[in-house]
Amino acid sequence: MIPATHYLILSVTLFSIGILGVLIRRNILLILLSIELMLNAANLNLIAGSAMHGRLDGQLSAFFVMVVAAAEVTIGLAIAVLLFRQKNSVDTHEIKELKG
Amino acid sequence: MSQALLFYFFAAVAVLSALGVVFHPRPARALLCLVVTMFALAVHFTLLGAYFVAMAHLIVYAGAVLVLFLFVIMLQGAGAREIALHQRFNIIYLLPAGLVSILLAGGLIALIRGSAFQALKSVDGTAENIGTLLFSQYLLPFEWTSLLILLGVFAAIALAKKDAA
Protein backbone atom coordinates (compact mmCIF):
# COMPACT_ATOMS: atom_id res chain seq x y z
CA MET A 1 0.00 0.00 0.00
CA ILE A 2 0.99 3.63 -0.50
CA PRO A 3 1.99 5.32 2.77
CA ALA A 4 -0.66 7.57 4.31
CA THR A 5 1.75 10.50 4.35
CA HIS A 6 1.84 10.60 0.55
CA TYR A 7 -1.89 11.14 0.46
CA LEU A 8 -1.53 13.95 2.99
CA ILE A 9 1.22 15.57 0.91
CA LEU A 10 -0.94 15.37 -2.24
CA SER A 11 -3.87 16.81 -0.33
CA VAL A 12 -1.84 19.75 1.05
CA THR A 13 -0.40 20.42 -2.42
CA LEU A 14 -3.86 20.59 -3.99
CA PHE A 15 -5.14 22.74 -1.11
CA SER A 16 -2.25 25.19 -1.55
CA ILE A 17 -2.92 25.43 -5.29
CA GLY A 18 -6.56 26.16 -4.40
CA ILE A 19 -5.54 28.94 -2.01
CA LEU A 20 -3.26 30.36 -4.69
CA GLY A 21 -6.18 30.37 -7.12
CA VAL A 22 -8.56 32.04 -4.67
CA LEU A 23 -6.06 34.77 -3.86
CA ILE A 24 -4.53 35.63 -7.21
CA ARG A 25 -7.28 35.08 -9.81
CA ARG A 26 -9.49 38.06 -10.62
CA ASN A 27 -12.40 36.23 -12.25
CA ILE A 28 -15.08 35.43 -9.62
CA LEU A 29 -16.04 32.18 -11.33
CA LEU A 30 -12.45 30.95 -11.25
CA ILE A 31 -12.25 31.90 -7.57
CA LEU A 32 -15.31 29.71 -6.97
CA LEU A 33 -13.65 26.91 -8.94
CA SER A 34 -10.54 27.19 -6.76
CA ILE A 35 -12.76 26.88 -3.68
CA GLU A 36 -14.10 23.63 -5.14
CA LEU A 37 -10.51 22.47 -5.55
CA MET A 38 -9.78 23.24 -1.87
CA LEU A 39 -12.92 21.38 -0.73
CA ASN A 40 -11.87 18.34 -2.71
CA ALA A 41 -8.33 18.41 -1.34
CA ALA A 42 -9.90 18.31 2.13
CA ASN A 43 -12.10 15.41 1.01
CA LEU A 44 -9.05 13.46 -0.08
CA ASN A 45 -7.59 14.02 3.37
CA LEU A 46 -10.78 12.77 5.04
CA ILE A 47 -10.88 9.64 2.92
CA ALA A 48 -7.18 8.93 3.51
CA GLY A 49 -7.88 9.28 7.25
CA SER A 50 -10.76 6.86 6.86
CA ALA A 51 -8.42 4.31 5.28
CA MET A 52 -5.80 4.92 7.96
CA HIS A 53 -8.19 4.05 10.77
CA GLY A 54 -9.99 1.30 8.88
CA ARG A 55 -13.36 2.95 9.52
CA LEU A 56 -15.98 4.42 7.21
CA ASP A 57 -16.67 7.64 9.15
CA GLY A 58 -14.18 9.68 7.13
CA GLN A 59 -15.87 8.65 3.90
CA LEU A 60 -19.23 9.74 5.27
CA SER A 61 -17.76 13.12 6.25
CA ALA A 62 -16.47 13.47 2.68
CA PHE A 63 -19.99 12.67 1.46
CA PHE A 64 -21.45 15.42 3.65
CA VAL A 65 -18.80 17.88 2.48
CA MET A 66 -19.87 17.10 -1.07
CA VAL A 67 -23.51 17.88 -0.25
CA VAL A 68 -22.58 21.17 1.42
CA ALA A 69 -20.37 22.05 -1.55
CA ALA A 70 -23.28 21.46 -3.93
CA ALA A 71 -25.44 23.88 -1.90
CA GLU A 72 -22.60 26.40 -1.80
CA VAL A 73 -22.14 26.24 -5.57
CA THR A 74 -25.84 26.89 -6.19
CA ILE A 75 -25.82 30.08 -4.15
CA GLY A 76 -22.35 31.19 -5.24
CA LEU A 77 -23.24 30.86 -8.90
CA ALA A 78 -26.56 32.67 -8.38
CA ILE A 79 -24.67 35.57 -6.81
CA ALA A 80 -22.07 35.52 -9.60
CA VAL A 81 -24.82 35.65 -12.25
CA LEU A 82 -26.49 38.58 -10.44
CA LEU A 83 -23.19 40.45 -10.23
CA PHE A 84 -22.55 39.84 -13.90
CA ARG A 85 -26.00 41.16 -14.78
CA GLN A 86 -25.46 44.29 -12.73
CA LYS A 87 -21.84 45.08 -13.62
CA ASN A 88 -21.49 43.27 -16.93
CA SER A 89 -18.17 41.96 -15.64
CA VAL A 90 -16.88 39.19 -13.41
CA ASP A 91 -13.62 40.93 -12.59
CA THR A 92 -13.09 41.48 -8.87
CA HIS A 93 -11.56 44.89 -9.60
CA GLU A 94 -14.92 46.08 -10.93
CA ILE A 95 -16.78 45.08 -7.76
CA LYS A 96 -16.00 47.68 -5.15
CA GLU A 97 -19.26 48.15 -3.23
CA LEU A 98 -17.99 46.36 -0.14
CA LYS A 99 -14.81 48.38 0.05
CA GLY A 100 -14.56 50.21 3.39
CA MET B 1 3.28 -2.18 -7.33
CA SER B 2 0.72 -1.32 -9.98
CA GLN B 3 -1.23 0.46 -7.25
CA ALA B 4 1.76 2.68 -6.47
CA LEU B 5 2.15 3.38 -10.18
CA LEU B 6 -1.51 4.40 -10.42
CA PHE B 7 -1.16 6.60 -7.35
CA TYR B 8 1.88 8.51 -8.58
CA PHE B 9 0.55 8.87 -12.11
CA PHE B 10 -2.81 10.24 -11.02
CA ALA B 11 -1.23 12.39 -8.30
CA ALA B 12 0.83 14.05 -11.03
CA VAL B 13 -2.28 14.42 -13.22
CA ALA B 14 -4.22 15.97 -10.34
CA VAL B 15 -1.51 18.49 -9.46
CA LEU B 16 -0.80 19.49 -13.07
CA SER B 17 -4.46 19.98 -13.94
CA ALA B 18 -5.00 21.89 -10.67
CA LEU B 19 -2.22 24.24 -11.77
CA GLY B 20 -4.08 24.51 -15.07
CA VAL B 21 -7.17 25.73 -13.18
CA VAL B 22 -5.19 28.56 -11.62
CA PHE B 23 -3.08 29.61 -14.60
CA HIS B 24 -5.05 28.93 -17.77
CA PRO B 25 -5.94 32.14 -19.64
CA ARG B 26 -9.30 30.85 -20.93
CA PRO B 27 -11.94 30.39 -18.17
CA ALA B 28 -13.73 27.55 -20.01
CA ARG B 29 -10.52 25.56 -20.36
CA ALA B 30 -9.55 26.21 -16.75
CA LEU B 31 -12.87 24.60 -15.86
CA LEU B 32 -12.14 21.60 -18.08
CA CYS B 33 -8.79 21.28 -16.25
CA LEU B 34 -10.78 21.03 -13.01
CA VAL B 35 -12.83 18.22 -14.56
CA VAL B 36 -9.56 16.33 -15.12
CA THR B 37 -8.58 16.96 -11.48
CA MET B 38 -11.94 15.58 -10.36
CA PHE B 39 -11.44 12.40 -12.38
CA ALA B 40 -7.93 11.94 -10.95
CA LEU B 41 -9.31 12.45 -7.44
CA ALA B 42 -12.01 9.86 -8.12
CA VAL B 43 -9.21 7.41 -8.96
CA HIS B 44 -7.55 8.19 -5.63
CA PHE B 45 -10.84 7.68 -3.80
CA THR B 46 -11.24 4.31 -5.47
CA LEU B 47 -7.68 3.33 -4.54
CA LEU B 48 -8.52 4.19 -0.92
CA GLY B 49 -11.56 1.92 -0.97
CA ALA B 50 -14.16 4.69 -1.08
CA TYR B 51 -16.07 3.23 -4.02
CA PHE B 52 -19.43 4.82 -3.32
CA VAL B 53 -17.94 8.24 -2.58
CA ALA B 54 -15.85 8.07 -5.77
CA MET B 55 -18.94 7.41 -7.88
CA ALA B 56 -21.01 10.05 -6.08
CA HIS B 57 -18.09 12.45 -6.56
CA LEU B 58 -18.04 11.80 -10.31
CA ILE B 59 -21.79 12.22 -10.63
CA VAL B 60 -22.08 15.29 -8.41
CA TYR B 61 -18.91 17.12 -9.50
CA ALA B 62 -18.01 16.12 -13.03
CA GLY B 63 -21.66 15.54 -13.86
CA ALA B 64 -23.58 18.35 -12.20
CA VAL B 65 -21.56 21.07 -10.48
CA LEU B 66 -18.98 21.61 -13.22
CA VAL B 67 -21.58 21.51 -15.99
CA LEU B 68 -23.48 24.21 -14.09
CA PHE B 69 -20.24 26.20 -13.91
CA LEU B 70 -19.67 25.66 -17.63
CA PHE B 71 -23.14 27.02 -18.37
CA VAL B 72 -22.49 30.15 -16.33
CA ILE B 73 -19.03 30.70 -17.83
CA MET B 74 -20.37 30.28 -21.35
CA LEU B 75 -23.38 32.53 -20.58
CA GLN B 76 -21.14 35.42 -19.64
CA GLY B 77 -19.92 35.20 -23.20
CA ALA B 78 -16.20 35.47 -22.59
CA GLY B 79 -15.53 31.90 -21.57
CA ALA B 80 -13.54 30.93 -24.63
CA ARG B 81 -11.74 34.25 -24.86
CA GLU B 82 -8.31 34.65 -23.38
CA ILE B 83 -8.00 37.00 -20.42
CA ALA B 84 -4.98 39.25 -21.00
CA LEU B 85 -2.12 38.55 -18.64
CA HIS B 86 -2.26 41.96 -16.96
CA GLN B 87 -5.90 41.51 -15.94
CA ARG B 88 -5.73 37.83 -15.07
CA PHE B 89 -3.92 37.93 -11.75
CA ASN B 90 -3.66 39.94 -8.56
CA ILE B 91 0.05 39.68 -8.09
CA ILE B 92 0.05 41.36 -4.66
CA TYR B 93 -1.78 38.38 -3.19
CA LEU B 94 0.99 36.01 -4.28
CA LEU B 95 2.81 36.74 -1.02
CA PRO B 96 -0.03 35.77 1.39
CA ALA B 97 -0.71 32.69 -0.75
CA GLY B 98 2.94 31.68 -0.47
CA LEU B 99 2.92 32.32 3.29
CA VAL B 100 -0.19 30.20 3.84
CA SER B 101 1.27 27.40 1.72
CA ILE B 102 4.53 27.46 3.67
CA LEU B 103 2.59 27.38 6.95
CA LEU B 104 0.55 24.41 5.74
CA ALA B 105 3.66 22.56 4.55
CA GLY B 106 5.39 23.28 7.89
CA GLY B 107 2.39 21.98 9.79
CA LEU B 108 2.36 18.85 7.66
CA ILE B 109 6.08 18.22 8.22
CA ALA B 110 5.63 18.69 11.97
CA LEU B 111 2.69 16.27 11.88
CA ILE B 112 4.59 13.63 9.92
CA ARG B 113 7.64 13.93 12.19
CA GLY B 114 5.63 13.99 15.41
CA SER B 115 3.31 11.04 15.03
CA ALA B 116 3.73 7.55 13.73
CA PHE B 117 1.36 6.94 10.87
CA GLN B 118 -0.07 3.48 10.58
CA ALA B 119 -0.15 1.79 7.22
CA LEU B 120 -3.39 2.21 5.33
CA LYS B 121 -5.94 -0.49 6.01
CA SER B 122 -8.29 -1.69 3.35
CA VAL B 123 -11.79 -0.34 3.92
CA ASP B 124 -14.83 -1.38 1.97
CA GLY B 125 -16.84 1.73 1.21
CA THR B 126 -19.49 0.04 -0.89
CA ALA B 127 -22.94 1.56 -1.27
CA GLU B 128 -24.25 -1.08 1.14
CA ASN B 129 -21.83 -0.28 3.97
CA ILE B 130 -22.10 3.48 3.49
CA GLY B 131 -25.89 3.27 3.31
CA THR B 132 -26.14 1.20 6.47
CA LEU B 133 -24.04 3.71 8.39
CA LEU B 134 -25.79 6.68 6.81
CA PHE B 135 -29.26 5.53 7.80
CA SER B 136 -28.35 4.43 11.30
CA GLN B 137 -25.59 6.35 13.01
CA TYR B 138 -25.64 9.39 10.71
CA LEU B 139 -29.39 9.68 10.16
CA LEU B 140 -29.75 13.10 11.80
CA PRO B 141 -26.94 14.83 9.83
CA PHE B 142 -28.34 13.22 6.70
CA GLU B 143 -31.74 14.80 7.33
CA TRP B 144 -30.07 18.13 8.02
CA THR B 145 -28.38 18.02 4.63
CA SER B 146 -31.76 17.64 2.98
CA LEU B 147 -32.89 20.76 4.84
CA LEU B 148 -29.71 22.55 3.72
CA ILE B 149 -30.32 21.68 0.08
CA LEU B 150 -33.93 22.84 0.34
CA LEU B 151 -32.71 26.17 1.75
CA GLY B 152 -30.15 26.35 -1.07
CA VAL B 153 -32.94 25.97 -3.63
CA PHE B 154 -35.00 28.70 -1.93
CA ALA B 155 -32.01 31.02 -1.81
CA ALA B 156 -31.18 30.45 -5.46
CA ILE B 157 -34.79 31.16 -6.49
CA ALA B 158 -34.93 34.27 -4.31
CA LEU B 159 -31.66 35.58 -5.76
CA ALA B 160 -32.61 34.82 -9.34
CA LYS B 161 -35.99 36.58 -8.98
CA LYS B 162 -34.59 39.68 -7.31
CA ASP B 163 -34.49 42.07 -10.23
CA ALA B 164 -37.79 40.89 -11.69
CA ALA B 165 -39.57 42.22 -8.60
Total residues belonging to chain A: 100
User: Mind listing the pLDDT tens digit for each residue in A13-26?
Assistant: 999 999 999 999 88
Please indicate whether, in this complex, the C-beta atoms of A19 and B4 are within 8 angstroms of each other: no
Structural domains of chain A, ranges and CATH numbers in brackets:
4-94 (1.10.287.3510)
Please indicate whether, in this complex, the C-beta atoms of A16 and B100 are within 8 angstroms of each other: yes
The H or E element spanning position A12 is helix A4-24
CB distance A23 to A31 below 8 Å: no
B69-88: b (≥16 Cβ within 10 Å) or e: bbebbeebebbeeebeeeeb
* pLDDT value for A38: 94
Chain B hits for A3, Cβ within 8 Å = 117, 119-120
The stretch A9-36 carries a mean pLDDT of 91
A80 touches chain B (CB under 8 A): yes
Interface confidence (ipTM) of the complex: 0.90
Residue A100 has pLDDT above 80, yes or no: no
- Chain A nearest C-alpha distance from B40 (Å): 11
- Please say whether the structural domain B2-84+92-134 has been given the CATH code 1.20.120.1200: yes
